[in-house]
Amino acid sequence: MSKLSRRAFLTSTAGLLTSSACSTPTNASPRFDRDRFVDEVRRALPAGQAAVDEVLARAVADPRLVIRELGEPDARAADLLYCDDELTIFNIVWPPDAVIGPHDHLMWASIGCYSGREDNVVWRRNGDAIERVAAESVGVRGVFPLPGDAIHSVRSAEREFTAAIHVYGGDLTAASGSRWDPNTLEKVARAAQPTTARSHV
């Protein structure tokens, strides 16, 4: 895939970027359309993660429309919306107070939240172990980008289901990431990412 500057992308696709994944004709009700969203993300991808984040931010700007299309977040799920060699998109729903230990993806990732909240801790390598460097929460309508070398752990909101669209800059289903023990912070194993449409991520 050819590389474009972000400025060139914004200029050449001005019409696309001023519309939204949930835009509709003037006389129609607004809606979020998953196929249109995937297409917009694919178009943004050559310009890089920041351009993808703009599409993602517009998509989660009205959470009601996302829920209307993707379903009420009331059960744990990791639904695969799209995957190829350069892009993976999941709709992920966490139950209340779910905890996911430190892990990496081996590619950049952007999280757009439309229900609940994800509390992220960001880590960095220290030999085979890791050490904490930052913490950031992403709530409804928020977008949280992670660079390709990021390590993070996640806790979902305590009293409600948390739902977010997760976009990855590669084929997450074929990647082998690393995990670290949340107590010792030592690296424990390399783990293959999910290969099914409804899996733990």
Q: What are phi and psi of 190, to 5 degrees?
A: -95, 135
Residue 165 within a domain: yes
**Domain residue limits at 29:** 6-192
Residue ranges of the alpha helices (H) in the chain? 6-12, 14-18, 34-44, 49-59, 63-70
Domain count, the chain: 1
User: Mean pLDDT, consecutive 10-residue segments, the chain of 201 residues?
Assistant: 40 35 52 96 98 98 97 95 98 96 96 97 93 96 97 95 98 92 86 38 39
Whole-number pLDDT of residue 30: 80
Whole-number pLDDT of residue 28: 54
Residue 197 within a domain: no
Whole-number pLDDT of residue 1: 42
E strand or H helix at 60 = none
CATH number for the domain harbouring residue 72: 2.60.120.10
Residue 149 within a domain: yes
Cβ atoms within 10 Å of 109's Cβ, excluding its own = 24
Whole-number pLDDT of residue 190: 57
Q: 176-192: b or e for each residue (b if 16 or more CB lie within 10 Å)?
A: eebbbeeeebebeeeee
Whole-number pLDDT of residue 127: 87
Q: 115-126: b or e for each residue (b if 16 or more CB lie within 10 Å)?
A: bbbbbbbbbeee
Which tokens belong to 186? 């030592």
Residue 199 within a domain: no
Residue 53 within a domain: yes
Cβ atoms 44, 51 nearer than 8 A: yes
Whole-number pLDDT of residue 189: 65
Residue 198 within a domain: no
Residue 168 within a domain: yes
| Beta pairing partners, 168 | 88, 109
